[in-house]
Amino acid sequence: MSLDNNNEYTQNDLYEQRRKKAENFHLHISDDDYGFDTLPSETDELNSYSGEQAREEIARKSKTALKKIKKEKKKELKQKNKYNRRYFRIFWIISVVIVGAMLSVYFITGMNDLLAINRTDNTKVTVEIPENPTVDQIAKTLKSKGIINEPSYFKLYTSVTKSGDSFTQGTYEMSKNMDYEAIINYLLSSNNRTDTVTVMISEGQNVLEIANTLKENGALNDVDTFLELCASDNFDEDFSFLKEIDNADDRYYKLEGYLYPDTYEFYKNEDAESVIYKFLNNFEMRLSEKREVSGYDDLTTVNKLLKNSDYSLDEIMRIASIIQAEAANTEDMYNVSSIIHNRLTADVNLGVSNLGLDSTKYYPYRSASDVPKSEGSDYTSKYDTYSKTGLPAGPICNPGMDAILAAINPNDTGYYYFCHDADGNAYYASTLYEHQMNLEYIQ
């Protein structure tokens, strides 16, 4: 055998040996090393080489895991909520019972107080209600006086009945055994007040003077409001004699002349409107009051006398106010009235168309010294009868009944002038010459 043959054999032998070794080689790897329960199938082996399918498989498994987690959390939350609801119900029931018990006690004690069931003491106590009172102030005052026991329930009751805005200042004598309804009705009626003051309004006082008198006596709480109302039309609907006035814009105070002078009983710090109603009601009553009048056999009234007069009630009140301001006494009033009537009806040629009365010169002030500096030194009243003919636009004061009767029923004289000396003695004249002589005499 040649060398070449030996080499060929050798190579073939080696090749055959290697082939056999390769066929007999087995790789032993456990399935657990790769996390597979079973060996992948041929299809799985083929799919393992697909990236897209791998991602889909991962996503599917992730969703499944997430759903499982959410389901577990939902189940846990449901159990927790069930636990919380149980305790909430228990707490709610306990709270309702407690609140219900408290409300029951509140309403029972409140109702007892409202009906004054436990208040048997009928002792009288003095209760002071302040100016512009609140319900809280009233409740505290009533509590301090032993009239109520439950201030909060009293406030609740006044709120429900809408009576809390109607209380006013005053002093009251109240019993401790009154129920809420009786208490409120008692406090709402000014007739039950004991804090009264007696004020005398003198004949001839004007609106400004009356306001000051009321204030000084503690009967008026607001002078400015009083004066505003005296210049207003607020009372026209209640009193026909005011509604008939047709020149209100020319007047300083529409109610001047109608605040009848008399002795009145007012409540302390009474509101202005209530004060004025008392004046006007009194005036209206006086017009219908029967009385003896000179020249009349039977008792008569001012209203009946006015029917036979050539003048309206308002004109009579203007004349009466001048008589009240100018005359020295009742007898003098009838002569002064005759002079005013004579001048009002005199022929223009007599030169007496202007009444020329000092009492009208500074109205609504009494004299030059009473005129405020703000009015200026050359102040002239629009009622001045020296510069204007006939009667002034309105009364200059509030006359009494004697002056009103004198204005309606003057003496029959031929006088056109009058004057008075320092002692109040009257001097009358039919001519200017006689009047000048009288003036020289009394000086």
Write the pLDDT tens digit of every residue in 247-262. Answer: 999 999 999 999 999 9
pLDDT at 15: 61
Range with the lowest mean pLDDT among 156-170, 191-205, 242-256? 156-170
172 strand-pairing partners? 127, 193
Which of the listed ranges 31-35, 67-71, 147-151 does the model predict with the highest average pLDDT?
A: 147-151
Looking at the predicted structure, is the pLDDT value of residue 267 above 90? yes
| φ and ψ at residue 268, rounded to 5 degrees | -60, 135
Report cis status (omega within 30 of 0) of the bond before 364: yes
pLDDT at position 108: 79
CA pair distance 206, 251, nearest whole angstrom = 13
- Report the pLDDT averaged over residues 230-255: 96
pLDDT (tens digit per residue) in 222-231:
999 999 999 9
pLDDT band at 160 (very low <50, low <70, confident <90, very high): confident
Which residue is associated with the tokens 């007496």?
Answer: 352
CATH 3.30.1490.480 fits 196-287, yes or no: yes
Confidence tier at 49 by pLDDT (50, 70, 90) = very low
Per residue in 271-293, pLDDT (tens digit) is: 999 999 999 999 999 999 999 88
Rounded to an integer, the average pLDDT of 235-245 is 96
Decide: 422 and 392 in contact? Cβ < 8 Å.
no
Looking at the predicted structure, is the pLDDT value of residue 7 above 80?
Answer: no
Which pLDDT score, from 0 to 100, does residue 23 have? Answer: 59
Given a contact cutoff of 8 angstroms between Cβ atoms, the answer to whether 418 and 429 are in contact is: yes
Q: What is the mean pLDDT of residues 266-270?
A: 92
Fold: same for 124-190 and 196-287: yes
DSSP helix/strand/coil, 426: strand
State the pLDDT at residue 228. Answer: 98
Distance of CA 47 to the CA centre of its chain: 92
Q: Is residue 96 over pLDDT 90?
A: no
Name the β-bridge partners of 162.
none
For range 117-137, the mean pLDDT: 88
Give alpha helix (H) positions in 288-329. Answer: 302-307, 313-326
Q: How does pLDDT run across 346-369, given as a tens digit for each residue? A: 998 888 989 999 999 999 999 999
Planar angle of CA 164, 165, 171, nearest 5 degrees = 80
Q: Where are the domains of the chain?
A: 124-190, 196-287, 314-442
Q: Report whether 425 contacts 409 (CB < 8 A).
A: no
Residue 122 banded pLDDT, cuts 50, 70, 90: confident
33 has pLDDT over 60: no
Q: Model confidence over 310-326: pLDDT tens digits?
A: 999 999 999 999 999 99
pLDDT band with cut points at 50, 70 and 90 for residue 1: very low
Give the span between the Cα atoms of 348 and 373, in whole angstroms: 37
User: What's the CATH number for 124-190?
Assistant: 3.30.1490.480
Token pair listed for 41: 């199938």
Q: What is the tens place of the pLDDT at every residue in 61-82?
A: 777 777 777 777 777 777 767 7
Q: Indicate whether 191 pLDDT > 90.
A: no
Among candidates 363, 371, 284, 379, which has minimal Cα distance to 324?
Answer: 363
DSSP string, 193-257: B--EEEEEPPTT--HHHHHHHHHHTT-BS-HHHHHHHHTSSTTTTT-HHHHT---GGG-S-TTTT
Q: Is the pLDDT of residue 54 over 80?
A: no
